[in-house]
Structure 1
Amino acid sequence: MATRLTESAEYAHLWSTPRLRAVFDERLQTWLDILVALAAAQAELGLIPAAAAGQIAEHARAERLDLEFVAAETRRTSHSTLGLIRGLQRLLPEPAREYVYYGATVQDLTDTWFGLVMRDVGRLVQDDLTRTHGSLLRLAALHRDTVMSGRTHGQPGAPITFGFKVVTWADEVARHLVRLSEGAERWSVGQLAGAVGVLGFFEPHGQELRGRFCARLGLHDPLLSWTSARDRVAEFGTVLSMVAATLARIGDEVYELQRPEIAELSERTAQDAVGSITMPHKRNPETSEHLDTLARLARAASSVLVEGMTGGHERDGRAWKAEWAALPDVALAAGTAAALAADLVDGLVVDADRMRENLGKTSWASERVLAELSRHLGKHRAQELMQEALHTDADLVTALASSGVADPARLARWTARPELATAAAMVDAVVARGTPGVQR
């Protein structure tokens, strides 16, 4: 039975995806693959026998390990990786045993795994964000001229188009795609530092060994040990938390606009979905609501990663061991949010008629009338007159006409329909730009 509800058979689907789980579920084999890559690079430079490297590669399979022995040795020695080392040594013939984990440290192993995690999770999030961005652009183009109330402080304000609202989402998602693409080279790096970062164990071959080691794993060479420089991990976590926050902003809009008294948007729901076990009429915004939940968790976990930047001296276990818990949390929360958001946007149901109907219930033309009156009376005088008119029992046109500030025919033209050419132009500009290219 899982210790955490989020890892249980009933609820795990809400907190991860199969592709994300694979990144973390294969952690043990990935660690072994890192040790294989290290041994191979060392053999190329003549630091260990080639035969030993070959035997390590042959036997380093997670399914062959005695995991109970590995766990027991880890507890007995109070060392993070001695259990794994000794478990692998038991699988190897005698000559090769001495060359397992040769000159490496715990942090070399775990930080290199972080580099792989950040590379792979980053790609998954990019894939889902790219899908979301494409759907948003199509939705914006379709609703370029669909008028609705723009809302500020939760209240109806001046008219916008739904297409304009959507491109504000798309533009923000596009910036995240650029951040993920630009940051990948910084995050997707290996670690081979040795005891205090100067690779003394491998002198004078340290830098060449690190380069070969990273290349074998498909990672960039950081050029410098980064045992106490945790900004890469903090940046990755922060960007993912920002991604999750943007997706929560989209989710919050759907959540609010799905309320029956507004009813302008709704989620696509499965026929078997049950909104409430006691109120069968309800159609709960499960996906949009959950995006906010995931964003809260992502932000909380990312703050732990930023805390890690204050580690001391050349190595500080307080910093990077906290990352062992926080990095998977932010990756799973943001990665799951990206997958859910892609499905949410793709299936979003838009009620354009209800948007127009809701707009018609408001004094939507007040901004346009204020602008026109300001040209003739001055902005602040016009503002005063508008405030007086809006606090009468009469409609806006009648109240202003009776005060003599404008001709009724002119007022009627100003309030006939929303003027949203600039909104449409901004939609066109964002749609024309398309989806940013993803660099890998």
Structure 2
Amino acid sequence: MGSGALGMEMMQNEFSAIGMRNIWNDVNRLEKICEVEITLAEAQAELGIIPADKAKIIREQVNVENIDMRKLRLSYGKSGHFLSGFVKYFEDILPDDAGSYLHYGSTTQDILDTGMVLQLKEAHEDTLKRLKKLMRLISSKANALSDVVGVGRAHGNHAIPINYGYKLAIYLNELMDLYQRLKDSEDYVFTSAISGAVGSYAGYGDKGLEMAELVAEKLHLSFDKIGWHTQRGRFVEYTHILAMLSGVMGKMGKNLFDLSRSEIKEFDESYGKGRQGSTAMPTMRNPYLSEAVYNLANLIHNEMNLMYQSMLVSHEKDTIGWRNQWVAIPEITMYLSGQFAYLTAAMQNGTFHLEAIERNLHTEQGMLVSERLMMALSSEIGKSAAHKLIYNIGNESREENTSFEENVRADQAIQKALSDEELDELFNVHTYVGQSEKLGKEILNNYANFKF
């Protein structure tokens, strides 16, 4: 059994999804290391650097199925260096001296960095798959609410009305942008790292550059002849995009949490039969999904400190920043998978309550259209005077606990400036949404035509 939030069997599903965890487990890491070593040997054989028959043995026998984990751990422990232990393990079991040509001319970072890139590429595909599903769900909800008007909130308080479909479509707009940024990063991020001890290809001989490009081609990775062992910025940039993606989801989780509050109740997470909210209060239905989405954004953003620090590499190599990324990259992608799982469940099974959305439009007795009233009066008495008049009526209504709308209608200056029919229209919250309905539908149309 593992340890910590991502390792404990009774806790790990609260922080991550099993599919993403499997990408970063021991077996998959070893598979990728084997794949890189095999591909290196095959490229060297094609170029006449090592004998073809030795590369064939390496291809056939360097695999996870041939690894005794206990013996590998002992080999690693004895050498004090993981990849040295790995190479020694296979040198001892490969026949016909093929082990002498494993890891030929290579350096640890070539193999481990390239292997990590292969893992990250799988994590990337998993992330895109989850993101596409979430966008579909948000689009569906936004479409369903495209004719609904709700409260627009500023600083946690009622501001002016907004089209509810637009309220959700804004998230979709951000997610489409980040999806495209992730796609655009692929060639830069998913790059092989075969360049030798200090990035000079010296150990690989005269055919080193040709060999490294061939390895990249075989692994379906891009190739950069300038070794990037010390240039960790590609991963910082990539995880920065993931952190922004996490931030959008975290913001959505926070807002769904607010909308779930008892006094608002515009949104409810699904509570199927048997789901519990509290051991103390049997009737509680807490918005745990939304809370988790918000919490995981905090965890991911904290991981970015490690990523930024990982760029501070000494000269041509050290393991300090490297080790930062070994921790942060898997954890960021795993936490992100947990965010997707929670927010997808909330969107798929949660309910937006139309009655509550409508009710909340009227809880402040007309103050939701104070901007509209001010602008209508501005052409008659000037904006500053209109602002002061509506401001004073608002204060009076709060202090005396009276109806804002009734006080507006009773004001003599307003009666002179606006007719009852005009006031009826001005107080109609459903017709004061600006361009939000149009913009919401524009975003949904952009999504319908989005090229994945």
Cα offset, 1:408, TM superposition: 4.6
Give the match's secondary structure for 1:174.
helix
Q: Is the 8 A contact 2:190 2:221 kept in 1?
A: yes
Q: How does 1:253-268 map to 2 (within 5 A)?
A: 253-268=255-270
Give the match's secondary structure for 2:368.
coil
Give the match's secondary structure for 1:7.
coil
Tell me how far apart the structure 1 counterparts of residues 58 and 49 of structure 2 sit (CA, whole Å): 15
2:15 aligned partner: 15
Tell me how far apart the structure 2 counterparts of residues 38 and 335 of structure 1 sit (CA, whole Å): 32
Tell me how far apart the structure 2 counterparts of residues 81 and 255 of structure 1 sit (CA, whole Å): 47
Give the match's secondary structure for 2:161.
strand
* Match of residue 422, structure 1, among 428, 432, 435: 435
Please list every run of 5 or more consecutive structure 2 residues that lacks an aligned counterpart in the other structure: none
Q: Is the 8 A contact 2:106 2:196 kept in 1?
A: yes
Tell me how far apart the structure 1 counterparts of residues 321 and 124 of structure 2 sit (CA, whole Å): 22
1:241 aligned partner: 243
Give the match's secondary structure for 1:144.
coil
Q: Is the 8 A contact 2:29 2:119 kept in 1?
A: no
Q: Is the 8 A contact 1:297 1:329 kept in 2?
A: no
2:287 aligned partner: 285
Cα offset, 1:312, TM superposition: 2.1
Give the match's secondary structure for 1:218.
coil
* Match of residue 108, structure 1, among 107, 110, 116: 110
Q: 1:334-361 CA distances to partner (integer Å, 9 max, x unpaired)?
A: 1221233223222231101111101111
1:6 aligned partner: 6
Aligned residues: 438
Q: Is the 8 A contact 2:166 2:441 kept in 1?
A: no
User: What is the one-letter code of the residue matched to 1:370?
Assistant: M
Q: How does 1:357-368 map to 2 (within 5 A)?
A: 357-362=359-364, 363-368=367-372
User: What is the one-letter code of the residue matched to 1:385?
Assistant: L
Tell me how far apart the structure 2 counterparts of residues 365 and 434 of structure 1 sit (CA, whole Å): 31
2:446 aligned partner: 433
Tell me how far apart the structure 2 counterparts of residues 33 and 270 of structure 1 sit (CA, whole Å): 45
* Match of residue 403, structure 1, among 412, 420, 440: 412
Please state if 1:135 is matched with 2:137. Answer: yes
Q: Is the 8 A contact 1:69 1:83 kept in 2?
A: no
Give the match's secondary structure for 1:160.
strand
Q: Is the 8 A contact 1:116 1:189 kept in 2?
A: no
Q: 1:53-72 CA distances to partner (integer Å, 9 max, x unpaired)?
A: 11111111213222222222
User: What is the one-letter code of the residue matched to 1:437?
Assistant: K
Tell me how far apart the structure 2 counterparts of residues 228 and 415 of structure 1 sit (CA, whole Å): 63
Q: How does 1:201-212 map to 2 (within 5 A)?
A: 201-212=203-214
Please state if 1:379 is matched with 2:383. Answer: yes
Tell me how far apart the structure 2 counterparts of residues 191 and 46 of structure 1 sit (CA, whole Å): 21
Q: Is the 8 A contact 1:254 1:288 kept in 2?
A: yes
Cα offset, 1:107, TM superposition: 0.7
> Do the aligned partners of residues 253 and 105 (structure 1) sit closer, same or farther apart at CA in structure 2, a change above 3 Å counting?
same
Tell me how far apart the structure 2 counterparts of residues 382 and 355 of structure 1 sit (CA, whole Å): 29
Give the match's secondary structure for 2:88.
helix
Cα offset, 1:374, TM superposition: 1.6
1:58 aligned partner: 60
Cα offset, 1:41, TM superposition: 0.9
Which piece of structure 1 moves more, 266-275 or 147-156?
266-275
Tell me how far apart the structure 2 counterparts of residues 145 and 189 of structure 1 sit (CA, whole Å): 47
* Match of residue 176, structure 2, among 174, 177, 192: 174
2:197 aligned partner: 195
Cα offset, 1:288, TM superposition: 1.1
Which piece of structure 1 moves more, 62-71 or 233-242?
62-71
Q: How does 1:73-152 map to 2 (within 5 A)?
A: 73-152=75-154
2:231 aligned partner: 229
Q: Is the 8 A contact 2:243 2:300 kept in 1?
A: yes
Tell me how far apart the structure 2 counterparts of residues 28 and 426 of structure 1 sit (CA, whole Å): 49
1:350 aligned partner: 352
Tell me how far apart the structure 2 counterparts of residues 343 and 5 of structure 1 sit (CA, whole Å): 20
Q: 1:132-161 CA distances to partner (integer Å, 9 max, x unpaired)?
A: 112212221221121111111111111112
User: What is the one-letter code of the residue matched to 1:319?
Assistant: G
Q: Is the 8 A contact 1:36 1:60 kept in 2?
A: yes
1:391 aligned partner: 395
Tell me how far apart the structure 2 counterparts of residues 208 and 168 of structure 1 sit (CA, whole Å): 47
Q: Is the 8 A contact 1:142 1:163 kept in 2?
A: yes
Which piece of structure 1 moves more, 423-432 or 264-273?
264-273
Q: 1:152-184 CA distances to partner (integer Å, 9 max, x unpaired)?
A: 111111111211110111111111101111011
Tell me how far apart the structure 2 counterparts of residues 283 and 337 of structure 1 sit (CA, whole Å): 20
Q: 1:22-50 CA distances to partner (integer Å, 9 max, x unpaired)?
A: 21121112211111111111111111111
* Match of residue 341, structure 1, among 338, 343, 362: 343
Q: 1:349-395 CA distances to partner (integer Å, 9 max, x unpaired)?
A: 11011111011112212111111112222221111001111122443
> Aligned Cα RMSD in Å?
1.6
User: What is the one-letter code of the residue matched to 1:50?
Assistant: A
Which piece of structure 1 moves more, 281-290 or 400-409?
400-409
Give the match's secondary structure for 1:149.
strand
User: What is the one-letter code of the residue matched to 1:11?
Assistant: M
Q: Is the 8 A contact 1:397 1:411 kept in 2?
A: no
Q: 1:115-148 CA distances to partner (integer Å, 9 max, x unpaired)?
A: 1122111111111111111221222122112111
User: What is the one-letter code of the residue matched to 1:231?
Assistant: G
Q: 1:61-109 CA distances to partner (integer Å, 9 max, x unpaired)?
A: 2132222222223222222311111111222013201011111111111
Cα offset, 1:427, TM superposition: 0.7
Q: Is the 8 A contact 1:39 1:48 kept in 2?
A: yes
Cα offset, 1:264, TM superposition: 0.2
Q: Is the 8 A contact 2:361 2:429 kept in 1?
A: no
User: What is the one-letter code of the residue matched to 1:103?
Assistant: G
User: What is the one-letter code of the residue matched to 2:150?
Assistant: M
Tell me how far apart the structure 2 counterparts of residues 270 and 214 of structure 1 sit (CA, whole Å): 49
Tell me how far apart the structure 1 counterparts of residues 424 and 63 of structure 2 sit (CA, whole Å): 78
Q: Is the 8 A contact 1:140 1:167 kept in 2?
A: yes
Q: 1:395-415 CA distances to partner (integer Å, 9 max, x unpaired)?
A: 334333423233351222211
Cα offset, 1:226, TM superposition: 0.1
